[in-house]
Amino acid sequence: MTVSKMTWRPQYRTSKFRHVFGKAASKESCYDGVPITRNVQDNHFCAVNPRFLAVIMESAGGGSFLVLSLHHTGKVDPHHPKVSGHRSNVLDIKWNPFNDYCIASCSEDATVKVWDIPPHGVLKNLMVPWKELQGHSRRVGLIEWHPTVNNVLFSTSYDYQVMIWNLDCPEQVIKNPVRTISHHTDVVLSMSFNTDGSVMATTCKDRKVRLIEPRSGNLLQEANPKTHKATKVLFLGNMKMLLTSGTSRWNERQLVLWDPDDLSVPLKEESLDGGSGHVFPFYDPDTHMLYLAGKGDGNIKYYEVSSEKPYVHYLTDYRSVLPQKGIGVMPKRGLDVSSCEVFRFYKLVTIKSLIEPVAMIVPRRSETYQEDIYPMTASNTPALTAEEWLSGINKGPVLMSLKPGSQAPESHSELSGKGLGNSLDTRRSQSRPGLLQLSYIQDQLGTKDDTQNSVSNGEDISLCSPPKTENELRLKFHKQQEEIRRLRELLNQRDVHITQLELEIKNIKNTQSQSSL
């Protein structure tokens, strides 16, 4: 009788994202010479959408931030116009998820301001906001937009209050929030919302993790972990789990998972490393991937999250010698699906005054659209108006396909003059399905007038305002020619890159064949 000898083989978890890798942009595709803020607040200091990149800058005589066109990379003009209406340092900025031309900022001057960015970017210093929110008594350190509702903004301050603001009102200066939440006994460090925004999670300097129903302000649950000091909190979307990052009692950076229905005992505690900077967590509900970017180091760890133990599965690290002070994230609708990009970071590197894009890519041979890694994702169309949400309605995000050429959901936020999203503009967008597509094409070609975004006294939007002079027509023609030239250069660069990769593969095959001989 012969006994078969069994050999041990490592068991790998099957995953389409096991080989995801990070790819830093070339020097020409970075933003150089950016005077990044030296503030020590543990915020991202950067906000990105498919049209603009905004970054808080170091400036004297009040607080300000830059808004740069996403494609205008390279050296940034030191005299570039800025948004500078605050009287003191800006601490946080966030783009409206349903209007690419609307951004909110908060400051040490105890105010929150909401800005209307012109379609062609900030061409002169912007001093007057669309809305100013006055209610906090001390500096405002953090702001967040509601994930599914149009024009609802949350702010937290060093007065320990969380305030909810409804921007769908006629006043330019709003002094009364629709709700003030006063459960915290110290500074709120971070906020996060579940998928439909019906529950808000917060971490606080008093070490407690809280779950709050934002409309009523009721405290649903509270956790006071003894072995974990939570700084950041994040709902893991469709996984129905809550994540906090912070430090353990031994000052190791730590990751903790919670069941939102029961915060009495954590589901999982995992030590990361002995780094000293805070960890910024980011979650992609479409791919179930979790990214952890450490402040003060250049590394980004990424994991895959599952609903069964051990819940978090380590994939690998993106390593860089350039330490990040802050980080911005591109919404999914702004990714390059032709290169199988599933996430994109914008790293703020203060030692080089540099903003470096880093793309997370799934290696695939085919250049066709990969249906399995791009499921339907949250769009830039709000699910509810502020009035509907305040009346007690909850609704999940409106979904869209990232497939090129697919019909995007209609959004009234871009059609309303100042992002109000009122019922009149909603009816207009529904009755004219081609309006959004025309507006988008005109903006891409640089032929969209600033006046086309304005609505006055219920008048119709001016869609086809032609150039008034021959010089204007010639200028717009040259802009279109320049855009065509830029796109051709990008295609040529991609062809060169493909040729280089083919040569590398050929060299590897030759090396393998020689070694086998």
- Rounded distance between C-alpha atoms, residue 210 and residue 233, angstroms: 10
Residue 55 is predicted with a pLDDT of 97
Contact criterion met (CB below 8 Å) for 230 and 246: yes
Q: CB 17: neighbour CB atoms within 10 A?
A: 18
What is the secondary structure of 84-127 as a DSSP string? EEESS-EEEEEE-TT-TTEEEEEETTSEEEEEE--TT---S-B-
User: Scanning the structure block, which residue is given the tokens 């300097």?
Assistant: 205
- Rounded distance between C-alpha atoms, residue 36 and residue 45, angstroms: 8
- Rounded distance between C-alpha atoms, residue 422 and residue 405, angstroms: 29
Does the domain spanning 21-361 belong to CATH 2.130.10.10?
A: yes
Q: CB 503: neighbour CB atoms within 10 A?
A: 10
Residue 488 is predicted with a pLDDT of 73
- Rounded distance between C-alpha atoms, residue 211 and residue 222, angstroms: 6
Query: Residue 67: phi, psi to the nearest 5?
Result: -125, 115
Write the pLDDT tens digit of every residue in 8-30. Answer: 444 456 788 989 999 999 999 99
Write the pLDDT tens digit of every residue in 270-303. Answer: 988 877 788 999 999 999 999 999 888 889 999 9
Contact criterion met (CB below 8 Å) for 303 and 312: yes
Write the pLDDT tens digit of every residue in 36-87. Answer: 999 888 899 999 999 999 999 988 778 999 999 998 899 999 999 999 999 9
Residue 109 is predicted with a pLDDT of 95
Residue 251 is predicted with a pLDDT of 87
DSSP class of residue 417 equals T
Residue 236 is predicted with a pLDDT of 95
In one-letter notation, the amino acid at residue 69 is S
DSSP class of residue 352 equals G
Helix (H, G, I), strand (E, B) or coil at 148: coil
Report field, pTM of the whole predicted structure over 0.95: no
DSSP class of residue 26 equals P
Which tokens in the block code for residue 347?
Answer: 């790293």
Which tokens in the block code for residue 472?
Answer: 């204007």
Residue 366 is predicted with a pLDDT of 76
- What burial class does residue 249 get, using C-beta atoms within 10 Å of its C-beta: 0-12 exposed, 13-18 middle, 19+ buried? exposed
